[in-house]
Amino acid sequence: MSAAGSVVAPRGALRGRPAWRDQLAPYTEARVWRSVLDLATSVVPYLALSVVMYLLLDVSYVLVLLVAVPTGGFMLRTYILFHDCTHGSFLPTKRGNTWVGRFLALLVYSPFSAWRHSHAMHHATAGDLERRGAGDVPTWTVAEYNDAARMKRMGYWLFRHPLVMFVLGPIWAMIIGPRIARRSQRPRIRNSILWTNLGIAAMVVALSLLIGLRAYLLVWAPPALIAGACGVFMFYVQHQFEDAYWESGESWNYADAALRGSSYLQLNKTLQFFTGNIGLHHVHHLSASIPNYNLQRAHDENPIFHDVPRLSLWDGVKAVRLKLFDEQDRRLVTFKQARLRRS
């Protein structure tokens, strides 16, 4: 323990360390005024710029697309607030997080309860080779890829291709996937999807009657695709980097997965603002109860966070080429490296 009472990182793995929970508890305090400020600097400018885009439709669509860039940034920031609500960290009360989260769900086209469930599964299983597929980016091992049939390898190759991941991926992740309710889902999850679909349909119909369906799509689609692509990229690089933590069964540890399997994506202040500090993903995964506006302070004041994987934006871009986990070398590798291992 440091003189200031911060958590000091021990050598080796962090299993068996309950102290960090108590030390991080002060950072989990949500403040209403700060949350309102977040809403005022995300939802309000997103809606205001959407109106500006609509007014510019009769002037120049080039100008509309230019304004779509910051609009998409504010939509992404809105998504981070929705994300905080699903963790119950944005406001002091469960009721407040639920109702604000349901409102934001309509703006980001994501069912609140269903998304909360799948994302909680992601936090509980991130980095565990035996529990892959729960709210994460599907990742095969080199052995699995080399042993798979040709068509399955081709399907995985296509899925991990940047054009599919960051162009088609946002369309699936934001528009199509969240609309699908399955009989196998719990009633609460299915109802979340169905009620959100109904709310979105009502919103789209109302706006289409007001300004026309074509105008609505021309205004809504570009920011949504920009926000979606940036969101998929952020989610990707947070756990898909060369030395990312992957373990199996009893070897897996929650704290190790958070601190060694979640990156610290270091962005400039502008990008950090629009991404709601989610680049401090190591802090978020160790304690999901910390609201976005306390993540930086938690990182700065606790040495346990000072020796985590750090990525620049360019490091994140380069990490896109990594596709498979090599269980022998304990790192993510490219398809080319996997083929060399196979030969």
49-83: per-residue pLDDT in tens? 999 999 999 999 999 999 999 999 999 999 999 99
pLDDT of residue 4 exceeding 70, the answer is no
Pairing status of strand 140-141 against strand 324-326: parallel
In a domain, 325, yes or no: yes
Mean pLDDT of 263-289: 95
Structural domain for 143, as ranges:
24-342
Domain total for the chain?
A: 1
Q: What is the mean pLDDT of the chain?
A: 90
In a domain, 100, yes or no: yes
Q: pLDDT band at residue 9, thresholds of 50, 70 and 90?
A: very low
Q: pLDDT band at residue 251, thresholds of 50, 70 and 90?
A: confident
In a domain, 16, yes or no: no
In a domain, 5, yes or no: no
Q: What are phi and psi of 31, to 5 degrees?
A: -115, 125
> Any idea which of 8-22, 43-57, 258-272 has the lowest mean pLDDT?
8-22
Mean pLDDT of 272-294: 96
Side-chain half-sphere exposure of 338, counting CA atoms within 13 A: 24
| pLDDT value of position 340 | 64
| pLDDT value of position 37 | 98
Element (H, E) at 332: strand 331-333
In a domain, 11, yes or no: no
Task: Scan for tokens 């490091």, then name that residue.
Answer: 315
| pLDDT value of position 16 | 47
Q: pLDDT band at residue 136, thresholds of 50, 70 and 90?
A: confident
In a domain, 309, yes or no: yes
pLDDT of residue 11 exceeding 50, the answer is no
Alpha-carbon span 77 to 43, nearest angstrom: 8
Element (H, E) at 141: strand 140-141
Give which of 237, 240, 295 is closest to 83, Cα–Cα: 295
SS3 240: coil
Longest dimension (CA), the chain: 63
> Any idea which of 123-137, 204-218, 230-244, 312-326 has the lowest mean pLDDT?
123-137
* Higher per-residue confidence, 77 vs 168: 77
Percent of the residues in the chain that have a pLDDT greater than 90, as a whole number:
73
In a domain, 17, yes or no: no
Mean pLDDT of 96-109: 96
In a domain, 19, yes or no: no
Kindly report the pTM of this predicted structure: 0.89
pLDDT of residue 17 exceeding 70, the answer is no
